[in-house]
Structure 1
Amino acid sequence: MKTNLKKATMLLTGLMVGSKLFAQTPDTSAAAKDYVRPFSGGDKLRTWSIGVHGGLLTPFTVFGSNNKQDFTHPQEQVGYGAYIKKQILPSLGLQADFLRGKVKGTSSQPDGLGNTVYSQYETNINWSAALSANITLANINWRHEKPFIQPYLTVGAGTMNYTPKITPVGGQQVNFKNTGNGSINEVYIPLGLGLKFDLAPGVNLDLGYQVNFVNSDNFDGYKYGSGNDRFSYVYIGLEFALGSKKKPQMATHNPVASMRTEYMWQNEQTKNALQQQIDAEKAKNDALRNDLNTTNANLAKLTTDSDGDGVVDVNDKCPNTPAGTKVDGSGCPLAKPEVKVYVTEEDKKVVKDAIKNLEFDLGKATIRAHSLPSLDRVAQLLVDKNFSLKLAGHTDNTGSNELNMRLSKDRAESIKAYLVSKGANASRIEATGYGQTQPIATNKTAAGRQANRRVEFTLL
């Protein structure tokens, strides 16, 4: 037992020293190296990796009652293995596993007379090969955008070749199988869980626990009870991503961080472009203001009022006004006072019903047929009372900001076009899209996202 623990300690120490060497050179540009433009394809990521590991094998497992195992006292033994993995999705990989080692136990369960039949067994796992699914449960980092810990599950199926040897009480060790070289081939099911820690780009520390279910009761050489044999393997290892070091590893890549980086970059680009446009418009306005000042200075000398309305010609925007006509400061006839029309509760109900019944085809700006009668009543209201109407389109945060901004604008414009087709004054309808920028509920739930997908009507 002490010898085995010493071997295991040396194995763990060696792996930890190797991990320390990889961690000596910090990657100051880790966030930049982990960036991959969203939706750019799997060829931008490393999807193949290999791993090596070593640990302890024992007949005791976390499943079932261990005191009912064929042998009651486990003897931990060193095991080792390797794998090659293909990452299909960020959370799913397929890996081919290899494992070797020895499983040992002492003191078999008593027979029907209460006697201990075997003093110990020792099974050599000559080789085992399995194909497993590796499911990454999450990419976790509490301090940085780049993930550090990846909890995972593995489940698979394979075959192993093993040689069980048993020692009768007071006797010599013999092979359980008397024919051939004593080896047996059996199907087995490996089921495991573990944690992977990012040590450096493309290098991960692997800590795991695996239970292997053998499809027979031959593994320990003693057929006791009715259950099949099983054994567990606790291990530590290293995983190395294959391919270009310039590409991040898919299994440890955080696509949300890349999407945030892309959003921040595009937002900065848009901000700079808008600022340039504003500066250009300011320069044009300054030039126009200077021209206007020069022109006004020259025209101020003129005092001619040709139509006698009290406004000099240089300022008279409506020359030849008939005598006696009351004009404003521009020399134009005063408009008749506008009759103010107020929005009533009934008017608000018409708009509220239109909002309630409004639906579009999924991902499009096409208004569904059952929404049209409510919009017809809104159009009639605009015709009868000459109201102004503001349409504000909004979306949830599903999809890119650019797509959502365009979709919200298109939907608001679609409603405007329909109302105009029913006789409403186009100049009194304003259609604006705000995309995902003004949520009224959380986007973390389906109900919240449904509430955020809306078009707001405001009567003026």
Structure 2
Amino acid sequence: LAAPVHQAFVALQQVIAQDLLRKDWEKAAATVRRFAPYFGEEDPRVAGLLDLLERPEEGLAPIPLGETVNSELGEYAPVISADGQLLLFCRNMGNNEDIYAARREGETWGAPYPISALNTAVAHEAPLAISADNTTLLMYDGGIVKYTDKETGGWSAPRNFFPDAYKPEWQGSTTFASNREAVLFAARSMDLVGVRNDDNIDLFVSLRRPDGGWGPPINLGTVLNTPFEDRSPFLHPDMRTLYFSSRGHGGLGSLDVFTSTRIGDGWLEWTEPENLGKEINLPGRDWGYKISTDGTTAYFSGDAPGKKEELFQVAVPERFRPQPVSTIRGRILGLDGKPARAELILEDLSTGEPAGRIQPDPETGAFFVTLPSGRLYSYTVEGPGLYPVTNNIDLRDNETALEVEENIEVPTLEEIQKGDITLPLKNLFFDTDKYDIKPESFPELNRLAELVRAYGLKVEIAGHTDYVGGAEYNQALSQNRAEAVRSYLLSRGVEDGQITARGYGLDQPLATNETEEGRALNRRVEIRFKRNE
């Protein structure tokens, strides 16, 4: 919209502001109708404003996070961890602003504590985002976006997020994609939609490079960005649903919260932004919304009577909730029961593309993974001197969120070379009653072939079945599947003398054959490492 029209719309918002605060939607709508002819019949902002006011209420009510968290000093910039157990925020200390944290205790939050390693006596520090595995924190530090990594005993010294060559003129709210392959952020730079000025802020994406650094900022385009303020992005762990605040898409106040959905696997196609509605957005500046992993709750900061700001939570309207996200949590441990120095690497088996890299907690080995629906994933745990352990989770036909708990034991290569260790090949797939290896199996078998070659290992491929079909049938099926794996490994350069294949049929069940879950455990192919002579 042209500048005079924009100014007129802002004036209209100010006229209805008190009615909005009183929730007198009918009076506010009547005022908008009275002034609508002056904007023209097709003005999208006015039509959108009227639509928001005429929508039925959903009974949403912001709830303060409580006196344990909120103080007279003022709190803002909430960040909620993907597992919902950690709350980070900024507390106004008067002379400066510091990062605080609180841990969930049942349905409430424990006493907040300052993260002393990240706070200074003079600068303004605030949290921006934390990675899904809770090991990397993005923070605002005296006008610069920095990052810090979780280490044994605390957090590393903050480092600049972007190198000078890519650093925007100004960078604000920044959010991780849950797979850590991209970050979305608000910035003021040369590549803006509209005229370059202090009031024009756009949303950008930067993609992770193969060396682990970040590529140049890419403007997310005109569907999201306007010639005015577009800021405070939050990408939900579903990797699709974006929440952000905008002054340029119209609405009820000077900044309203909107949502848009990513189209396809790129970053430049988005659905038209939708306003979250009159019970979420107020006449002022609504921004900084963070959504829980289950998609039901938003956390934000807002004005409170007698205080500067405080933290709230509010239910997310049903129609604006993200897609279901499944989670895997557990610990990564060595055979000695101690935390393993490892990394959990996710892969989309249908495309072969990376789906994320997760760092377990260096002190406890705990990890937490979020996975969008509709894909078949593998995850591999690997690290220096470790044998890579794999598994998979199939979300292709899943329409609800799964919660999986799994502790992963990772042997060292030294332990493998000593032999007498048997491990399942979890990412090995066959059609029912068949022994042709499916393509989704190739990444794991390729890794296995490389290790067997590199370390001169001797192994047996052991096939097992459930009891459906009888002993003779299952003996043949298990032998054929073991032979199929052996043939594939030979084709990848493993020496004939390093590998044998044997089918055990139904003779060595791991679980009962009376349930489908038990039969699924019994249908397996294992690799048995023999002692090197």
TM range (shorter): under 0.3
Query: Which structure's relative contact order is higher, taking Cα pairs within 8 Å and 6+ residues apart?
Result: 1
Please report the TM-score for the alignment, with normalisation by the length of structure 2. 0.20
- More helix per residue: 1
Please report the TM-score for the alignment, with normalisation by the length of structure 1. 0.23
